[in-house]
């Protein structure tokens, strides 16, 4: 059963009563219960078809298109698992499975797949970066379901993969807290007044990038020279990077101002927006939207990374704005910093480098798990055979 959310007049919203879930409350695979609106019990009863039940799948019919934040993307889904009374607002729909034939968890995984997303995108009304899906398009969507026992086994396997992915995030976050705490201890709380004053140009070589002509297809490659753009980092939640969505060819490299930078370079986006960061795990290049730093040997990658994080408000305050904020290479080089002594820098590098390696190993494990999850969902949708025992 697919049900529409309710439309409310502005004067029907109250300070208390039955909570209303809006599109802003529905994120990718989760629901936020803060910043709720409310309507009276009487108003909710008049729109009882939009009352949400435990196990319902909530599906925003309006949102951003591909390439944007998945938490704002059209067609994202989340399972409602509350027992209290809630009601759904307009531009959202309820997908209520028949529990005898469909498992909510399985159906949510199915609907969150890239294949399902593209099915709806091919039928959506698109205006700018916004897409809208009609209720009847969702009602008309047909899927092939295995038996309920198989669905539950599949959803349990996928949930186990999700748990492993969450554990990867937690392990990386714990290591990150240790390093950030140690940075604060050495370079903030115990900052040494005799340390010399300098600028970011004393930390390492500040490098911009370039873009080959997009009119020349031969300048780009699926497997060429790694080339990163700010867009590659826009939804990139990981610390280390080796490739962007598109590589450039050797010919493209020769015909643009991109510079090859070594492993350990700290990438820092300088516009649209300022402050996306990642650490190169191999030689790579970027477009002109970066002011990356190749750290001096005595400075090290770890100090450079955490220094840039701490300097972000300062850097943003020095940006100039035309159609968007940008920090120039000249200004970036002149940003004042305090340069610690080599012994303290070495101490910090020796503390962080093994933890960086641990984080990178965990990141690779997470990427592998996420790919395994996508592959399993794709097999389910394409009705291929799958061995759950191998994935358990």
Gyration radius of the chain's alpha carbons: 25
Q: What are 214's two structure tokens? A: 């997009």
Taking a C-beta distance cutoff of 8 angstroms, is the pair 6, 52 a contact? Answer: no
Q: Give the CA distances from residue 335 to residues 293, 308, 327, in Å, rounded to whole numbers and listed in that order.
A: 13, 11, 11
Strand 274-280 and strand 266-270: the pairing is antiparallel
pTM for this predicted structure: 0.87
> Is the pLDDT reported for residue 196 higher than 60?
yes
**Sequence-ordered list of residues with C-beta below 8 angstroms from that of 245, at least 6 positions apart, any chain:** 229, 231, 232
- Average pLDDT of 302-325? 92
Cis peptide before 212 (omega within 30 of 0): no
Using DSSP, state whether 19 is helix, strand or coil.
strand
Find residue 267's DSSP bridge partners: 278
Distance CA 373, CA 109 (A): 10
Average pLDDT, the chain: 92
C-alpha 326/C-alpha 310 separation (Å) is: 18
Averaged pLDDT for residues 310-327: 89
What's the N-to-C CA distance of the chain in angstroms? 31
Tokens coding 263: 């492993």
Domains and CATH numbers, the chain: 2-144 (3.90.220.20), 146-167+342-392 (no CATH), 196-339 (3.90.220.20)
Helix (H, G, I), strand (E, B) or coil at 242: coil
What is the rounded average pLDDT of the residues 10-17? 95
User: Could you read off the pLDDT of 197-243 as tens digits, one per residue?
Assistant: 999 999 999 999 999 999 999 999 989 999 999 999 988 999 999 99
CA dist., res. 169 & res. 61, Å (int): 30
State the pLDDT at residue 389. Answer: 44
Residue 142 in tokens:
């047909």
CB atoms within 10 A of CB 291: 27
The size of the chain, in residues, is 392
| Secondary structure in 3-state letters for 369-385 | HHHHHHHHHHHHHCCCC
> In which band, very low, low, confident or very high, does the pLDDT at 192 lie, cut at 50, 70 and 90?
confident
Higher pLDDT, 358 or 113: 358
Cα dihedral sign, 370-159-94-40: negative
Q: Tokens in use for 326?
A: 């940008």
Q: Spell out the residues 6+ positions from residue 207 whose beta carbon is closer than 8 angstroms to its own.
A: 259, 261, 265, 286, 290, 291, 292, 293, 294
Q: Would you say residue 162 has pLDDT above 50?
A: yes
Q: Who wins on pLDDT, 192 or 267?
A: 267
How much is the average pLDDT of 244-269? 97
Count helices and strands in the chain by DSSP H and E runs: 11, 27
Q: List the structure tokens of 97.
A: 């499975």
Question: Alpha helices, DSSP H only, in the chain?
Answer: 41-46, 104-111, 114-121, 135-139, 148-184, 230-233, 250-254, 301-317, 329-333, 342-381, 388-391
The helix-helix angle for 301-317 and 342-381 (nearest 10°) equals: 80
Q: What angle do CA 50, 53, 58 make, to 5 degrees?
A: 70
- Residues 358, 364 contacting (CB under 8 angstroms): no
The pLDDT of residue 379: 86
């Amino acid at each position: 059963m697919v049900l529409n959310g309710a439309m409310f007049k502005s004067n029907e919203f109250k300070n208390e009563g039955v909570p209303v879930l809006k599109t802003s409350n529905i994120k990718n695979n989760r629901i936020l219960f803060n910043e709720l609106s409310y309507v009276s019990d009487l108003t909710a009863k008049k729109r009882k078809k939009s009352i949400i039940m435990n196990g319902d799948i909530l599906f925003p019919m309006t949102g951003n298109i591909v390439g944007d934040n998945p938490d704002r993307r059209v067609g994202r889904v989340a399972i409602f698992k509350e027992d209290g009374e809630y009601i759904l607002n307009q531009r959202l729909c309820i997908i209520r499975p028949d529990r005898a034939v469909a498992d909510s968890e399985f159906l949510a995984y199915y609907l969150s797949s890239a294949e399902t997303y593209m099915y709806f995108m091919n039928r959506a009304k698109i205006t700018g970066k916004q897409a809208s899906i009609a209720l009847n398009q969702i009602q008309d969507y047909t899927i092939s379901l295995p038996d309920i026992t198989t669905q539950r086994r599949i959803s349990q396997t996928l949930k186990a993969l999700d748990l492993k992915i969450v554990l990867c995030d937690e392990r990386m976050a714990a290591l990150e807290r240790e390093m950030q705490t140690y940075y604060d201890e050495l370079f903030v709380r115990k900052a040494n007044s005799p340390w010399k004053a300098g600028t970011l140009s004393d930390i390492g070589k500040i490098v911009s990038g370039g873009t080959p002509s997009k009119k020349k297809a031969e300048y780009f490659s699926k497997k060429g020279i790694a080339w990163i753009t700010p867009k590659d980092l826009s939804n990139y939640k990981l610390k280390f990077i080796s490739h962007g969505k598109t590589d450039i060819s050797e010919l493209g490299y020769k015909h643009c101002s991109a510079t090859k930078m070594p492993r350990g370079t700290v990438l820092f986006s300088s516009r649209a927006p300022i402050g996306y960061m990642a650490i190169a795990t191999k030689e790579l290049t970027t477009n002109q939207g970066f002011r990356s730093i190749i750290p001096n040997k005595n400075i090290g990658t770890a100090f450079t990374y955490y220094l840039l994080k701490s300097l972000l408000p300062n850097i943003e305050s020095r940006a100039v704005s035309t159609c968007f904020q940008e920090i120039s290479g000249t200004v970036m080089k002149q940003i004042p910093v305090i340069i610690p002594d080599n012994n303290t820098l070495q101490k910090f590098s020796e503390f962080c480098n093994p933890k960086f390696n641990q984080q990178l190993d965990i990141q690779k494990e997470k990427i592998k798990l996420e790919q395994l999850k996508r592959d399993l969902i794709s097999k389910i949708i394409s009705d291929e055979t799958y061995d759950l025992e191998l994935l358990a």
